Structure formats: C-alpha cells, structure tokens
C-alpha cells in the first residue's frame, strides 16, 4: 500500500522509513521510463517550487528546475542576493511568507540549522538540496543508481574513501536504512560526525548490515561492490586544499587501489570531480564508472521526491 508523503519535508534520509525510501525508488523508475518514452507526466501542473541557493550548483539547480518543469510546474530561482534569509528577515517570517506563495521549497545552503528551521516554520514541504552536514537527494539518487545496476541494495558492500563530510554522513544514513554494508576509510582527523555514526550503526543493526569507520583505504575496498569518493576540499574549504591534499593523497581512487575490489565493482562520485586528486581518469572514465548515470538520475529521483511531497 502506498505511503502518503504529501506535505512531508525531506531534511535527512534518517527521517524516512524504508517504505518511503522504496516508494521514492519505485516512482523514480516510473518517471524515468515516462521521460525516456516521451509520455507526459504533469503530476504537479500549476504548482510552484521555490529554489533557494546560498551555495551555487550545476546539478542541483538544473535537475530541480528541469524536473519541476517536466512535472508541469514552475521553478523559481532565488540566489544569495534575492532573499534576506536570516539577515534582515528571520527564517520564521520567511518560511511563513513563502508558504503563502509556493507549494514547495528546495534549499541548498551552508548551515543545516537553516533547513531545520525552514521546515519547522513552513506549512509546505521543504527539500534539503545540500547543507554542510547532509546531502540527502544525492544519496537517494546514489542508492537508486546502485539498485538499477546491481538489482538489489541489501547485502552489498560500499567503500567510501575520503573526507567525513556531508556525503559521508548521508551515505551513513542511506546505507544503514536499506541494509547495505558501508566501510568509510578516512584520515583519523577527518572522521564523520560521531552522533550520525552512532545512529547509523543502530539502523544497520536493525537491518542486519554493518558500518565500519577505518583509516586503511586498501582494507576498505577489499571485496567492495561499490567504491565511492568525493572531493577532498568542499565548497568553502578552498583555503585548506593544500593541507587536506597531504592527508588524503593515499585515499586516491586509482587502478592500484580498485584491484582490491570485486571485478564488477561500480565507481561512484557525486561530482564535480577533481581529476588527479581523489580519482584518476583511468577509473572515472572506465567501464566500471557510473558517474554520469548517477548524475542523470538526480533528475528522476528528485522528480519523484517532489511528486510525492508536493
């Protein structure tokens, strides 16, 4: 039986039930098929999505704006200078006002608390397009892509190499929710948030899967079905790039490292990739790489999220 998600905000994957996650995947598959065959699917005709961007983005803006258009609705872009979010107008008032004009809000920003507050005070659904803490739409897309490629999620092993950042956090939430084993290999001083790790380990225990946080990249990728990495310095950390490179260089995904994974492993990256840093051309351009299928699927999965909550 379908779960009613109308009006529900998506702040974190951890807020979703397994049934809701599977419903997102089922609808993503349906909408992708309709898009590829040219069948109209104006599920959100006449509805408007406000898109708040404190952080710029290629994939997030284009996929959400294209997605709401394909669903029959309108996407309105608000850049850093278009709204006074948390500046001359507090988030409480902004949320109340936007709720009178819009049917949904997508926000991509720095502070995770801003998204929590926006969702708390808005009477319309709020979708987290990215914060410094979490990136739920990306990881739901990643899991959907793995399901397409591998035919299942439960029982697979993912190895994540690099920074314990927002991607690592949402992968912890996502993999633990669907019963996928996840090994994160990070330098000891770049580990993920302890509370998120603890919570994800509890979820994994319920699902019969395993979460590991280690420092050895070779051990992490051993027998992995999926190898995942992300940039070593995220947006806003450019000044730390050189220092970070020293710590992360042994976590580079290259031919020498991936030979420890399963032969049919898939390589994933949320993009943009810094080729020559966290991954080399021989891997990201190999037949094992699914990064562009992954990027495309942002469109289909986010359309499913919008259709379900708006």
Active site residues: 108, 135, 138, 230, 270, 298
State how far the Cα of 303 lies from the Cα of 35, in Å rounded to an integer: 11
State how far the Cα of 188 lies from the Cα of 186, in Å rounded to an integer: 6
* 281: CB partners within 8 A, 6+ apart: 275
Q: In what order do the strands lie in the sheet with 74-78?
A: 74-78, 48-53, 104-108, 126-130
What is the chain's Cα-based Rg? 19
The three-class DSSP label of residue 300 is helix
Contacts 24+ apart (CB under 8 A), 272-276: 272/58, 272/231, 273/231, 274/231, 274/232
Q: In what order do the strands lie in the sheet with 211-214?
A: 211-214, 181-185, 157-161, 226-229, 266-269
E runs forming strands in 25-180: 48-53, 74-78, 104-108, 126-130, 157-161
Contacts 24+ apart (CB under 8 A), 16-20: 16/177, 18/177, 18/178
The three-class DSSP label of residue 26 is helix
Q: Which two tokens stand for residue 122?
A: 């808005």
């Amino acid at each position: 039986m379908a779960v009613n998600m109308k009006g529900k905000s998506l702040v974190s994957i951890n807020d979703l039930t397994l049934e809701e996650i599977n419903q997102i995947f089922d609808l993503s598959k349906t909408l992708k098929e309709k898009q590829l065959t040219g069948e109209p699917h104006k599920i959100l005709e006449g509805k408007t999505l406000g898109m708040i961007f404190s952080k710029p983005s290629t994939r997030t803006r284009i996929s959400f704006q294209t997605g709401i258009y394909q669903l029959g609705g309108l996407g309105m872009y608000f850049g850093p200078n278009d709204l006074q979010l948390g500046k001359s107008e507090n988030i409480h008032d902004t949320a109340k006002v936007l709720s009178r004009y819009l049917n949904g809000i997508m926000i991509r920003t720095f502070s995770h608390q801003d998204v929590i507050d926006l969702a708390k005070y808005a009477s319309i659904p709020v979708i987290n397009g990215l914060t410094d803490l979490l990136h739920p739409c990306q990881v739901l897309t990643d899991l959907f892509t793995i399901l397409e490629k591998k035919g299942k999620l439960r029982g697979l092993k993912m190895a994540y190499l690099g920074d314990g950042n927002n991607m690592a956090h949402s992968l912890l939430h996502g993999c633990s929710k669907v019963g996928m084993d996840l090994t994160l290999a990070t330098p000891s001083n770049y580990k993920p948030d302890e509370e998120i790790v603890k919570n994800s380990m509890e979820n994994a225990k319920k699902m019969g899967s395993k979460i590991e946080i280690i420092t050895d990249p070779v051990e992490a990728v051993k027998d992995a079905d999926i190898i995942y990495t992300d940039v070593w310095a995220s947006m806003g950390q450019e000044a730390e790039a050189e220092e970070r490179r020293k710590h992360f260089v042994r976590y580079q995904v290259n031919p020498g490292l991936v030979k420890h994974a399963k032969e049919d492993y898939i390589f994933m990256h949320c993009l943009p990739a810094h080729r020559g840093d966290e991954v080399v051309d021989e891997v990201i351009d190999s037949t094992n790489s699914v990064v562009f299928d992954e990027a495309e699927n942002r469109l289909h999965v986010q359309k499913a999220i919008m259709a379900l909550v708006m």
